[in-house]
Amino acid sequence: MGDHLEKGQHALLNEGDENEMEIFGYRTHGCRKALCLIGSIFSLGILPLVFYWRPAWHVWANCIPCSLQEADVVLLRTTDEFKIYSWKKVIWISLSALSSTSGLTPDHPLITDEEYIINRAIRKPDLKVRYIKVQKIRYVWNNLEGQFQKIGSLEDWFSSAKIHQKFGLGLTSEEQEIRRLICGPNAIDVEITPIWKLLIKEVLNPFYIFQLFSVCLWFSEDYKEYALAIILMSVVSIALTVYDLREQSVKLHHLVESHNSITVSVCERKAGAQDLKSRLLVPGDLLILTGSRVQMPCDAILIDGSCVVDEGMLTGESIPVTKTPLSQSASSAPWKMQAEADPRRHVLFCGTEVIQAKAGCSGTVKAVVLQTGFNTAKGDLVRSILYPKPMNFKLYRDAIRFLLCLVGTATIGMIYTLCVYVLSGEPPEEVARKALDIITIAVPPALPAALTTGIIYAQRRLKKKGIFCISPQRINVCGQLNLVCFDKTGTLTRGGLDPWGVVPCDQNGFQAVHSFASGKALPRGPLCAAMASCHSLILLDGTIQGDPLDLKMFEATKWEMTFSGDDIHLKEMLAHTVVVKPTDIVGQVPVEGLAILHHFPFSSALQRMTVIVQQMGGGRLAFMKGAPERVASFCQPDTVPACFISELQIYTTQGFRVIGLAYKKLETDCSTTALMREKVESDLIFLGLLILENRLKEETKPVLEELISARIRTVMITGDNLQTAITVARKSGMVSEGQKVILVEANEATGSSSASISWQLVEEKKHVPFGNQDNYINIREVPDNAGEGSYHFALSGKSFHVISQHFSSLLPKILINGTIFARMSPGQKSSLVEEFQKLDYFVGMCGDGANDCGALKMAHVGISLSEQEASVASPFTSKTPNIECVPHLIKEGRAALVTSFCMFKYMALYSMIQYVGVLLLYWETNSLSNYQFLFQDLAITTLIGVTMNLNGANPKLVPFRPAGRLISPPLLLSVIFNILLSLAMHIVGFVLVQKQPWYLMELHSVCPVRNDSISALTTASLNVPEKTRSNSTFASFENTTIWFLGTINCIIVALVFSKGKPFRQPMYTNYIFVLVLILQMGVCLFILFADIPDLHRRLDLLCTPVLWRVYILIMISSNFVVSLAVEEAIIENRALWIAVKRCFGYQSKSQYQIWQRNLANDSSWPPLNQTSYSDMQGVSYSNPVFESNEEQL
């Protein structure tokens, strides 16, 4: 369906975005709808159930294709590899209610301005709007462009001047009403899902429908004990699931409800400022921010005044961030393009807290509402939790195929049953019942419940270790991780930075290091003033708050911070301007104090910040701090010492964090707000370097060594300096001793030359005292063969960007050995994780939450070390703020994965053992009795299913991973071999028992006393209904033999399949499981050898000669010995499978392994002391869409 599309029927929704979807138009057809209704009634509700499982079928059955413009139903399909379908009704909004109150007509000026999407959506002359709601977002039909477009945001194409002009005075009440009606309420409404809804959704799962069918069948056969047991298990399972979902729903509801009921001050164009409920806000409203500790109920662009905001909810770091107003530029470019650096510095995000609002020229702080509801930053975070990205993990697809194979097997069994019973002349209802029985035997209803127990146990063990999981299915994925990315600051190293010293400089070069450990005050001068004033710290309730780095730097000066009082009157200084001044301890300094007039805030993209300060009784100055290389580039060349690079490398080589400082004098008659950043940040005088210590956490090195020894790649992604990152990589063991680091540097195209990429070897020298200026990491010339052996690539975010743009053919080659990525922006971190995934790596990302949110969500397994709100989007959160959680997760993931395989194999064998036994008995038109089934299903399999998964994870990480899929050769061979072995044993038992000399004798002649009573009972019960008789139907020597062989074989298979090392703890440590097996085996042997008539009668068994019982034991023992020998010597023999692979020339199809093999045979790789240009490159390589071909043992 949908291949032959009408014109205008198909389009893309959110084109280019992460949540891109295809959209198809359909119109409801009356006749089709009536036929579907009749079909639903006659199918007793089965047809609606199928439509519930397959939304596309519902649309195709009820509707006919049409253009999107005429559609009343749309079919949506995701564009990822999952192709998930859903459908939505097209809803109409009528503006007629507004036309009577505000005189709205089709030619009203308010709705004729087609610069707004809202006005393009209003259909004239009937004043109606069509929209659909997808994943909480409204999309209106744009009549001008003929497509559905997102609503609830300010148009992206507005320039900064237009935003000031159109919204600077607020909206009129009529505009507000129209926007309110079309955009919907400004609320992140996460309703607490009613229990009945959760219950229905859970019960309509195909697995539970199949269970319902099985239970009905069993009740019809009077097999009520196991039916009740399955009902009980299902009720408990459903109750636990519903409870978990309800808890998550309540937690999410409480997380967002506080932002839905805030009273805000809004400026209306005619009526002026008025208080309004935040739910009534619309894009374009003008907010007036007053006071402190204000929760933002929407995203808004600051247009007047400045704010200090706590963005912990978004970034995971509770560090105040300064927001500056959007300037009125004359350019017509979109406002986001006009921002000098990061446009986010003008935006106040929903859910963040405005700690302090400083009024601008107008005397108020004003912001224009940018986005409302689920379009906001917080709304996006909540949507990522409500609609998580589906997992592409082959285990789950293989599980479906496995179930389909069982269904196929069941179908063969059904045909066989029909043939046997019809030819035997059995009644039709009995034939149907026996045939349906085969389905419930071949496809065990307890299978999904048994598979999830391993994950539940792993989740509990993780919880005990302080690791919390919001996506339990990802625990299995942890077992496949083969590359883990780490943030540096706060993750590998300690979060706090301690000032170590400053290196001042003058026209003669760098001076002696001033160590803070000495306790001496900093020498007077601009360097001290720069450290005291160039920061984003604020004074709140008498406490200095802000970035830890800024705080440590300010504390090192021993200055103090206050607000300007009434006694201080300086030009352009507003009330409550922050003033920093020296304390008595510092002694004489050239200035009495500094008033901080204006900030150009720090951003990751710019790698610097600048402040304009006013000296008390002096001139005006500008101070800059940031990455030393960036700061030096803004300074007058003659003020930067010639040995700048070498001096910087002395400290970065040892892992110090280095900050550059600079300043300049400004003209006092110029307004600070009118000064452009470019003008202020030019011709500066370089002041020196601030050195801060960034120590490794104690746990970092041993954890990285453990991962590397387990052949799990470790990669560092940091926003810090490249040299510092290289040093930390060496100190932490990420780059081991003797391994080379190759610096990859790429530069953008300039006017005269195209983009270039160069490769240089980074030399490591031993550290000696600082007096020797020649000892540092430097670039050196190397002979051609120096690239041989182990090496790591190190590159910056800038180089990564240039390589992605101009050298895409080299990108996979670099990523195969890329270990250190420095100066990476949050967006680049996400891109890098995605590029690794395209190479078929299973990627883990571990970060402290700051700037890592995107990468944490993008990775297969995201582990947040922060407990801030932002981390809720990460699948795993660790309470312990160090990377010890990573190996724990991988170990538990591997154990859970192996447990899943064990359970698959066991459940497959259990169902096949029962299946083979029953089909053999059907040949004699016999079967197992209800109590025989009950004993196998409940006393044996259910207990094993619950206890087999209790093995903990092996404390040692081995250097290989478990198989990632069910259809791996060893697993398939194990299952097929054991099925054939069980089949052979059952057939041998079935045939041999019929050849015994006592088989044709009367029942009482085999065991005179025992079977005599049974014979009497049989005669006495001839008039009893068939299903309630003790022995008349089932008791036979074949039945007795098959039941004993099958029951004890189920125990033996559990013993053989219960894997211990290398991924789980040995089986004997699982005391409960061992005890269960011993008890089960003891009971079975007791029933086999004890001659108790009542017990035999209850289980519908016949007494056999002792010798035959010994034969049964010999057959079972032989089966056990052969199965165990094959499992240990062949199936679990990793060396054998590697030899087989080598013999047949099998090579992994994973992209990264293909590249590794190619590079190993490339003598020219890695290139050293070379520079290449983009126009010399051949055809660009494009990574295939991520589809893991990982096939490991």
Report CA 31 to chain centroid distance, whole Å: 45
Locate all alpha helices (DSSP H) within 818-956, ordered by sequence: 826-838, 853-858, 885-923, 930-934, 943-947
How far is 744 from 679, CA to CA, in rounded Å? Answer: 33
Q: Would you state the structure tokens that stand for residue 903, as one six-digit string? A: 């359970």
Report which residue type is found at 217. L
- Quick one: three-class SS letters along 934-988? HHHHHHHHHHHHHHHHHCCECCCCCCCCCCCCCCCHHHHHHHHHHHHHHHHHHHH
Beta strand pairing call for 467-469 and 876-878: antiparallel
What is the radius of gyration, based on Cα positions, of the chain? 37
Q: What three-state secondary structure class fits 740?
A: strand
| E strand or H helix at 203 | helix 195-203
How far is 876 from 930, CA to CA, in rounded Å? Answer: 45
DSSP state of 331: -
Report which residue type is found at 1127. E
The answer to whether 893 and 476 are in contact (CB under 8 A) is yes
Q: What three-state secondary structure class fits 609?
A: strand
What order of strands is seen across the sheet that includes strand 137-142? Answer: 91-94, 128-134, 137-142, 147-150
How far is 988 from 1116, CA to CA, in rounded Å? Answer: 11
Residue by residue, DSSP assigns 204-233 as: TSHHHHHHHHHHHHHHHTT-HHHHHHHHHH
- Which position has the token pair 């180089």? 799
DSSP state of 1140: H
CA-closest candidate to residue 902, choices 476, 473, 1190: 476
How far is 247 from 195, CA to CA, in rounded Å? Answer: 11
Q: Would you state the structure tokens that stand for residue 585, as one six-digit string? A: 């301890």
> What residues have CB less than 8 Å from 327, skipping those under 6 apart?
160
How far is 460 from 236, CA to CA, in rounded Å? Answer: 18
Q: Would you state the structure tokens that stand for residue 735, as one six-digit string? A: 């780059």
CA-closest candidate to residue 732, choices 754, 758, 706, 750: 706
| E strand or H helix at 371 | strand 365-371
Residue 465: Cβ within 10 Å count: 15
CA-closest candidate to residue 308, choices 287, 326, 295, 324: 324
CA-closest candidate to residue 704, choices 519, 696, 71, 119: 696
How far is 366 from 303, CA to CA, in rounded Å? Answer: 6
How far is 85 from 33, CA to CA, in rounded Å? Answer: 20
How far is 888 from 897, CA to CA, in rounded Å? Answer: 14
Q: Please name every residue paired with 1103 in a beta bridge, in sequence order, or none if there are none.
A: none
> What residues have CB less than 8 Å from 717, skipping those under 6 apart?
485, 486, 487, 488, 821, 824, 829, 832, 855
- Compute the 3-state secondary structure of the chain and give helix, strand, coil in percent, each to the nearest 5: 45, 20, 35
CA-closest candidate to residue 915, choices 979, 974, 835: 979
Residue 487 among the catalytic residues = yes
Catalytic residue among 299, 398, 437, 487: 487
| Active-site residue set | 487
